Structure 1
Amino acid sequence: MTSPHSSRPWWRDAVIYQVYLRSFADGNGDGIGDIAGLRSRLPYLAELGVDALWLNPWYTSPQVDAGYDISDYRAIDPCFGTLDEAKGLINEAHQHGIRLILDLVPNHTSDQHRWFQEALSGGPGSPARRRYHVRPGQGPRGSEPPNNWPSIFGGPAWTRTTDPDGTPGDWYLHLFAPEQPDLNWDHPEVRAEFEDVLRFWLDLGVDGFRIDVAHGLTKDPAYPDLDATDSELLGSARTEAHPYFDRDETLAIYQDWRRMLDSYDGERLFVAEAWVSDATRTARYLTPDRLHTAFNFGLLGCPWDAEAFRSEIEQALRVLDGVGAPATWVLSNHDVVRHVTRYGRQDTSLQDAKRHYGSPVDLTLGERRARAAVQLVMALPGGAYVYQGEELGLPEVENLPPDTWQDPSRHWSDHPDPVRDGCRVPLPWSGAAPPFGFSPDDAHARPWLPQPRQWKDRTVAAQLDDPGSMLAHYRAVLRHRKQLGDFADGTPLTWLPAPNGVLAFRRGDVVCITNLSRTGVPLPPDQEILLASTHIAAPQLPPDTTVWLSAQTDRDQRSRSEPHHRS
């Protein structure tokens, strides 16, 4: 199936909805979202107008890191359902015209994975240990880690094993939690295993994979210490020769995967989570023989500033066009502060949001900017991701009681980022009090994270019949995006002159203008308003507002005013 407005593959301009499964909808009343809950809400997603779903990991897992610690890649965790239910979901989603993309976690397994248990029981030098990064320590009797690599979640990236006889043994690498040992991608069994995992799910009909930590699979076999230039863990300031991020050897793995994926029918998709230093580095993953798309995180981290937005847009489009890949825009996901909250603060970049976590937020301002931002993003060339709940205008929950936190990064005092649970609170569907329809009326357990009582005005039910709601705006944006056709992949973007603090561009017969300044600006005369993010009293475009105009109207009027000559 291709895009309705293009012969190019569907994924080049798709709108993909991220389902954080444990927080989407609870079908069995245990307080955790599951496959049954998601299946019951497929009509809602179809009505919203999305093209595909990306599901966070649903595989068997001890759930130390919300399923990103996987013990069996071919089975569904019982808290989410069964493999038969997963097959049913794939089929039902397709019946609704919605594709399904799974989250693949190839950098590490759970410490409960069969392979790692074999590595521990096998003892020093066992073949099973070669599937991971197990190294002797430094210092007296190997009591110090093999090098100075830090974990992204805080603390050291090495944990010492205990040998079968009970004595302290070698150390194993984990760039994330100690329960997530990193795989050794130089080992042929690791490569063969993951190709088999990909085939298992492709044979069941899934439409693609989001690759977790796509930039981090291979490691320098010399295990050198990090130096001062490697201070940024999720996108090193150094663009070459990093010991474990963004290495050329990782790109070769994706060439093998792409050959395999291309052997399947149906335009299957790879999307990379690649936190690298800039768009030029991202483009290396997106050559025609590697991956299809990668998240463009530039706008996700951008302050509310026209120059910053334009710079990110221009760089991404220029660089990706060079390799023939589309942009993939994203404003929020399950790892960052929700953008309604970010935009409601005086400091609006992602880094400032982390520093000011818990400080006062103007949610009215944040919601207004969020509406403008999504309408801008949906007018750009390429595809876009919507994180569940952003269509409801959900803010970050920054006052969760510490005893409810489940984010493993909170175990380390040197981890500076906010607790990620605040963007993962279960969705409100209906009703005036928690669980807001997230769980059935006769549920025997509370939602796994508490929902704010203020969300009673943000439920799906409360917004469905309100033409001025955030949900109504998202539906209108996605509907217009499909109907207009001018936003299909391949329609070029042309920047137009605009006042300071304003972005204006044309795609086909549609003009998109976003006012990121603090004052109203004049709208172009005699152009029909197709859609606005907030009410507009023409001829002024208010601050923090996006409008789509019909350039066709202006052209028709000019044509009528020009003299006609007989040939």
Structure 2
Amino acid sequence: MHTRTDPAWWRNAVIYQVYVRSFADANGDGVGDLEGVRSRLTYLADLGADAIWFTPWYPSPMADGGYDVADYRDIEPRFGSLEQAERLITEARDLGLRTIVDIVPNHLSSVHPWFEEALADGPGSPARERFWFRPGRGKNGDEMPTHWVSSFSGDTWTRTVNPDGSPGEWYLHLFTPQQPDLNWSNTQVRAEHEDVLRFWFDRGVAGVRIDSAAMPVKDPLLPEVPARPGPGEHPFIDRDELHDIYRGWRAVADSYDDERILVGELWLDDARRFARYLRPDEMHTAFNFDFMTRPWEAKELRASIETTLAAHEPVHAPATWVLSNHDVTRPVTRYGRSDSSFAFAAKRFGTPSDPKLGHRRARAAALLTAALPGSLYIYQGDELGLPEVEDIPLDKLQDPMHFRSGGVDPGRDGCRVPLPWTTANTGAGEGAHAEPWLPPPAIWPGLSVEAQQHDPQSMLALYREMLRLRRSETDLENDQLSWLAASSGVIAFRRGTQFACVVNLGAEATPLPDQARLLLASGPLDGDQVPPDTAVWLHLPMVKIEE
């Protein structure tokens, strides 16, 4: 297994995602902060993480949870200071934990100095060329330049007002109006982002996660979205010009002695187009969302694994495996539903879920993903088996996805509720005096780290043992996977010479392979039978490999 000092650490690293304002609150104001993270670094190291990915920690009005960045070279005051971030990066590295920060190239905050300058300078100014300002269509310019639909629902253009009070140009925002899109045809935009990379790499950051990585470049003609866009034909997704940008970023990363990595957030259905971003002179890895969105069915998950590994093999890049993140319904809830797949458009209030079924499947899914070749991402709280919080009072919801859907979509706040650390508090952290920024449910104390710490049957205990074995099993060092013969509803594969994983997603129990020695199980076995919704890690001698 790659060690924490290995330059190839990222190829099969365990990376823990920290959503700062919900992780740990050190000063008791109800919002998580960097000092709270520092106080829990030992917890993350003991869990078995190799790196920490921080969602944006920069100054922000929080119109979109920090993804509306006002200053890339500082820290949001509610989270702490730049000095505290530098200390955190150093102390984490001393514990063997590398730091990955989030970069958002598609847009900035509407209070960023660049956008304020663009509004002040008016039409035709160089400041406006950094963004997508356009006159409106129609007789009086009252119509939006395009009818593109926002990722958050609704329109993608907002009209400005001229200094004399008359209606002005429109500006593009693929997300909220508080997130104006940048124009990557502008050389200043490109130079600024490369300099931001250097700023954080110089402070010891080991990598960057690139938000909405397939979206920054737009077709300058601003055509409407075709009914069936061909490869590279979408006006604002997966444009071919992106690759030159990321080659520039890779050159910046490669200029450092210690390896700095680029991780892309790429929501692309075309596996071949996806793999192009992972060529040796572009990104190191990219998130594999296909697996996360599939239902809890053996055929579906196996197909996703096969497609993912096949796409990565030609470019010699490692796959990534993830069950959730700060945008997605938590697996304990998702896997307890009759439709256990995930799609943003399908999120609705009142969708029922069986918590016991979901918990059992989430434990099995953890073992499945951790046994696959490549790197593993863990979203904070999944190691505690936290469910999606679906009864947040409506007046407490903050996510723009909820409001821009007209209140139909519950939004993403349900997976962002502050973590429970002890059985005695409300979820914000020791010494909390203010209510957490999102209210925790009544079940939180029973799911806290303190409640699970010494329970050998807890989700936390499962994750700790799983990650310990993942690090110690030499068979998990390579990128190879061989399928084993298995009945319908069962996923079974071998890694190396003796490690094997069997996951029963069917309705009936399945027997353990002959001569198998059990290493770890996600739930109780029935003699030599693996019950439904259970996964096992095994040592077994060589057996017939599926043709």
Match in the other structure for 2:211: 212
Map 1:149-548 → 2, pairs under 5 A: 149-229=148-228, 238-351=230-343, 354-355=346-347, 357-413=349-405, 417-432=409-424, 434-436=425-427, 438-441=428-431, 443-488=432-477, 490-508=478-496, 509-548=498-537
Matching residue's letter, 1:88: R
2:348 and 2:481 map into 1 onto residues whose CA distance is 35
Matched-pair contact (CA < 8 Å) for 2:68–2:178: yes
The offset of 1:353, in angstroms, is 9.5
The offset of 1:393, in angstroms, is 0.3
2:104 and 2:324 map into 1 onto residues whose CA distance is 20
1:286 and 1:491 map into 2 onto residues whose CA distance is 16
Matched-pair contact (CA < 8 Å) for 2:422–2:445: yes
Matching residue's letter, 2:45: A
1:352 and 1:273 map into 2 onto residues whose CA distance is 16
Greater mean deviation of Cα atoms: 271-280 or 10-19: 271-280
2:221 and 2:257 map into 1 onto residues whose CA distance is 41
DSSP 3-state at the match of 1:37: helix
Deviations 1:52-76 (A, max 9, x none): 0000000111111111001110010
1:322 and 1:416 map into 2 onto residues whose CA distance is 42
Matched-pair contact (CA < 8 Å) for 1:343–1:369: yes
Deviations 1:309-361 (A, max 9, x none): 01000011011011111000111000011111011112111139935643332
Map 1:34-53 → 2, pairs under 5 A: 34-53=33-52
2:337 and 2:349 map into 1 onto residues whose CA distance is 10
1:148 and 1:360 map into 2 onto residues whose CA distance is 35
Greater mean deviation of Cα atoms: 190-199 or 409-418: 409-418
Deviations 1:471-506 (A, max 9, x none): 000001000011112112x24110010000001110
Moved over 4 A (4+): 5-8, 414-417
Matched-pair contact (CA < 8 Å) for 1:154–1:414: no
1:342 and 1:413 map into 2 onto residues whose CA distance is 21
The offset of 1:539, in angstroms, is 1.2
1:152 and 1:8 map into 2 onto residues whose CA distance is 36
Matched-pair contact (CA < 8 Å) for 1:61–1:69: yes
Match in the other structure for 1:234: none
Matching residue's letter, 1:470: M
1:199 and 1:273 map into 2 onto residues whose CA distance is 20
DSSP 3-state at the match of 1:270: strand
Matched-pair contact (CA < 8 Å) for 1:342–1:353: no
Deviations 1:222-241 (A, max 9, x none): 001123336xxxxxxx4331
Change in 2 beyond 3 A, CA 1:44/1:184:
same
The offset of 1:308, in angstroms, is 0.3
RMSD over aligned Cα atoms: 1.7
DSSP 3-state at the match of 2:197: helix
The offset of 1:422, in angstroms, is 0.5
Give yes or no for the alignment of 1:15 onto 2:14.
yes
Matched-pair contact (CA < 8 Å) for 1:111–1:179: yes
Please, what TM-score do these two structures have when normalized by structure 1? 0.93
1:414 and 1:275 map into 2 onto residues whose CA distance is 24
1:526 and 1:479 map into 2 onto residues whose CA distance is 24
2:410 and 2:181 map into 1 onto residues whose CA distance is 24
Matched-pair contact (CA < 8 Å) for 1:11–1:383: yes
Match in the other structure for 2:78: 79
2:444 and 2:401 map into 1 onto residues whose CA distance is 27
DSSP 3-state at the match of 2:43: helix
2:196 and 2:125 map into 1 onto residues whose CA distance is 25
Change in 2 beyond 3 A, CA 1:491/1:212:
closer
The offset of 1:221, in angstroms, is 0.4
Greater mean deviation of Cα atoms: 2-11 or 238-247: 2-11
Please, what TM-score do these two structures have when normalized by structure 2? 0.96
Matched-pair contact (CA < 8 Å) for 2:421–2:429: no
Deviations 1:116-143 (A, max 9, x none): 0010000111110000000000012211
Matching residue's letter, 1:278: D
The offset of 1:278, in angstroms, is 2.7
1:30 and 1:14 map into 2 onto residues whose CA distance is 33
Deviations 1:502-557 (A, max 9, x none): 011101110110000011011112221011111113311111111111124x78xx
Change in 2 beyond 3 A, CA 1:526/1:282:
same
Matched-pair contact (CA < 8 Å) for 1:379–1:487: yes
1:142 and 1:5 map into 2 onto residues whose CA distance is 58
1:275 and 1:57 map into 2 onto residues whose CA distance is 19
Matching residue's letter, 1:527: A
DSSP 3-state at the match of 1:170: strand
2:408 and 2:261 map into 1 onto residues whose CA distance is 34
Map 1:139-150 → 2, pairs under 5 A: 139-150=138-149
Change in 2 beyond 3 A, CA 1:307/1:537:
same
Matched-pair contact (CA < 8 Å) for 1:337–1:353: no
Q: Mark the runs of 5 or more structure 2 residues left unpaired by the alignment.
A: none
Match in the other structure for 1:565: none
2:352 and 2:186 map into 1 onto residues whose CA distance is 50
Matching residue's letter, 1:108: H
The offset of 1:165, in angstroms, is 2.0
Deviations 1:184-240 (A, max 9, x none): 00000001101110000000000000000100011000001123336xxxxxxx433
DSSP 3-state at the match of 1:537: coil
Matched-pair contact (CA < 8 Å) for 1:207–1:268: yes
Matched-pair contact (CA < 8 Å) for 2:226–2:234: no
2:306 and 2:179 map into 1 onto residues whose CA distance is 37
Matching residue's letter, 2:262: F
1:271 and 1:470 map into 2 onto residues whose CA distance is 28
Matched-pair contact (CA < 8 Å) for 1:521–1:541: yes
The offset of 1:415, in angstroms, is 8.1
The offset of 1:163, in angstroms, is 1.3
2:495 and 2:116 map into 1 onto residues whose CA distance is 55
Q: Mark the runs of 5 or more structure 1 residues left unpaired by the alignment.
A: 231-237, 556-567
Change in 2 beyond 3 A, CA 1:4/1:444:
closer
DSSP 3-state at the match of 2:423: coil
2:344 and 2:412 map into 1 onto residues whose CA distance is 15
2:311 and 2:342 map into 1 onto residues whose CA distance is 23
DSSP 3-state at the match of 2:274: helix
